[in-house]
Amino acid sequence: MAPSTKSVRAAMLAAVPSLRAFAISLCRNVDRADDLVQEALLRGWAHLDSFEPGTNMSAWLFTILRNVFRSEYRRRWREVEDADGFYSESLTSLPGQTSHLEMDEFRKALMLLPPDQRESLVLVGASGFSYDETAQICGCAVGTIKSRVNRARRRLAEILSIESVDDFGPDRETRAVISSAVGGSRES
C-alpha cells in the first residue's frame, strides 16, 4: 500500500535541509541547488509508486536529486563554473565553529575534487549515510565508494597542505585580505 500523502509530505519536508546541503556541494550555487531540490521533490512525488514503503525516504530522494543533477545540471554547471561568489554571500560562519577563512579554504579544496569523489566524501562524511547507502545512491559497488572516499581524503590533504606553503601563492595574510574583500569575512 502506498504511504499516505500526509506522511510522504512530512518525510520529504524533513529531508529538505540535507538535500539542500548535498545539492550545494554538487552544484556550488545556492539558487541552483534549490532548483535542484525542487525538481527532485517533484519527480519523487510523481514517482511515489517506485518508492518502497519502509525504506529510507531520504536516501531515495538523494538518488533522484543526484540523477537530476547528472542529467541536467552538470553541463550547465560546467559552463558557469567559478562565475560567482555564491557561498560566502549566502552562508555565514556559526559562532564557535571553524573560522570563515579556514572554511573558505576547505570549500575551495573540496571543489577541486572530481565530482565522483566529492559526492562520495560528502555523502559518507557529512550526510551521515553508510557506505552501503552511499553505494546505492550512487549506483555503484561499496568498494568503489570506499576507494573514492579514500582518494578524496588524500587529495584534500594534499591540496590543503600545498595551500599552507607560502611559495604557492599569496601568503596567509594576503589571502585573508582578499577573502575579506571578496566574501565580506568578519575575521580580524
Partner 1 sequence: MNKDKAPRIRSDIGVYENPESTVKLGTDIEAKIGLQLRAMYSQVLSQGIPDRFAKILDRLDETASDQAEAARMTDNEVSNGPIH
Distance of closest approach, residue 12 Cβ to partner 1, in angstroms: 6
Window of 15-23, 62-70, 75-83, 130-138 that interacts with partner 1 by CB under 8 A: 15-23
| HEC per residue, the chain | CCCCHHHHHHHHHHHHHHHHHHHHHHHCCHHHHHHHHHHHHHHHHHCHHHCCCCCCHHHHHHHHHHHHHHHHHHHHHHHCCCCCCHHHHHCCCCCCCCCHHHHHHHHHHHHCCCHHHHHHHHHHHCCCCCHHHHHHHHCCCHHHHHHHHHHHHHHHHHHHHHHCCHHHCCCHHHHHHHHHHHHCCCCC
Choose, by CB under 8 A, the member of 165, 166, 173, 186 that binds partner 1: 165
158 binds partner 1 (CB under 8 A): yes
Residue closer to partner 1 by CB (options 45, 72) is: 45
Q: How many positions of this chain bind partner 1 (CB under 8 A)?
A: 46
State yes or no: residue 127 binds partner 1 (CB under 8 A): yes
> With binding defined as CB under 8 A, does residue 176 bind partner 1?
no
- Interaction between residue 76 and partner 1 (CB under 8 A): no
Contact residues for 72 (Cβ-Cβ < 8 A; gap 6+): 39
Would you count residue 153 as binding partner 1 (CB under 8 A)? yes
Q: Report the C-alpha gap between 5 and 85 in whole angstroms.
A: 38
45 vs 79, beta carbon nearer partner 1: 45
In Å, how far from its chain's centre is CA 52?
25
| 83 lies in the site for partner 1, by CB under 8 A | no
Q: Which of 84, 154, 174, 182 binds partner 1 (CB under 8 A)?
A: 154
* Grid cell for residue 40: 527532485
- Does residue 18 belong to the site contacting partner 1 (CB under 8 A)? yes
Which spans of this chain sit near partner 1 (rule: CB under 8 A)? Answer: 5-6, 9, 12-13, 16-18, 20-21, 24-25, 34, 37-38, 41-42, 45, 91-94, 97-98, 102-103, 106-107, 110, 121-122, 125-127, 150, 153-154, 156-158, 160-162, 164-165, 167
